[in-house]
Amino acid sequence: MALAYLGSKKVDAAALMASTSPSPPQRILTQDELKKIAAYKAVEFVESGMVLGLGTGSTAKHAIDRIGELLRQGKLANIIGIPTSTQTHEQALSLGIPLSDLDTNPVLDLAIDGADEVDPDMNLVKGRGGSLLREKMIEGCCKKFVVIVDESKLVDYVGGSGLAMPVEIVPFCWKFTAQKLQSLFEEAGCVAKLRISPENGKAYVTDNGNFIIDLYFKKDIGDLKAAGDAILRLAGVVEHGMFIDMATTLIVAGEMGVRVRNKC
């Protein structure tokens, strides 16, 4: 057995190496795993008897799966879900989650959904999944709106990721509307693009039969409420993807753990 000497004390060299060698690095969580952590944390806000807004997208999908699991286990009961898209409707039905609509339940207890961007004031960009209109209608009726993201979605300002801020428009004369939108934010270096479906190479069509114009900004567009009002004043615009002052709780999953922030 190899021995090392520390002062006058004999030490097993192999044991010495084992005690001083660095521990193996921890595995880095994938983005989807971080989304799942945030989603499961959000479901802790769900209580039996609630009417829930069910979001759309990869992060919200984890939350809906978890709600379905808790219903099957009997840990939740008498839940009613209101889906924000056809995709979410189908997922919820497959999990046995009872569904309703805003006509029957105009006030919701809680909504859980992801976001494409979150600025320091908890304003959101949503709709890159194509469901912004129904999401805004449903999540605007909630007593509490819990937003779940991984830390890659945090930005300094709306549009700061360089990715799209969607605007849902009617198909009629879409080029005219797109040009109006681009001109509206010319000072921010805006570029307006019709969203194309990867499935058929044609214009992407929302659940409501509309098109989406994706706006890309090179600079901060400034006052979000003023920007949103200006967008909605354009004939042909249905809704925009800025969710201003709507989120009440933000859950962010990152390598350092989960952070929960409540709106002041």
Q: Domain holding 191: CATH number? A: 3.30.70.260
- Please check whether residue 136 is in contact with residue 102, taking contact to mean a CB–CB distance below 8 angstroms: no
Question: Annotated catalytic, 186?
Answer: no
Residue-level pLDDT at 9: 43
In a domain, 264, yes or no: no
Confidence of residue 24 (pLDDT cuts 50, 70, 90): low
What are the pLDDT digits (tens) for 29-59?
888 899 999 999 999 999 999 999 999 999 9
Number of separate domains in the chain: 2
Residues near 67 by beta carbon (within 8 Å), at least 6 away in sequence: 43, 46, 52, 54, 76, 79, 81, 95, 97
Confidence of residue 258 (pLDDT cuts 50, 70, 90): very high
Task: Look at residue 236 and tell me whether its pLDDT is greater than 50.
Answer: yes
Q: Domain holding 138: CATH number? A: 3.40.50.1360
- Please check whether residue 58 is in contact with residue 33, taking contact to mean a CB–CB distance below 8 angstroms: no
- Please check whether residue 249 is in contact with residue 262, taking contact to mean a CB–CB distance below 8 angstroms: yes
Same domain, 128 and 248: yes
Which residue range forms the structural domain that includes residue 142?
A: 31-151+243-256
Same domain, 118 and 141: yes
Which phi and psi angles does 132 have, rounded to 5°?
-60, -35
In a domain, 182, yes or no: yes
Same domain, 141 and 251: yes
Q: Which of 47, 69, 90, 135 is catalytic?
A: 135
What are the pLDDT digits (tens) for 166-195?
999 999 999 999 999 999 999 999 999 999
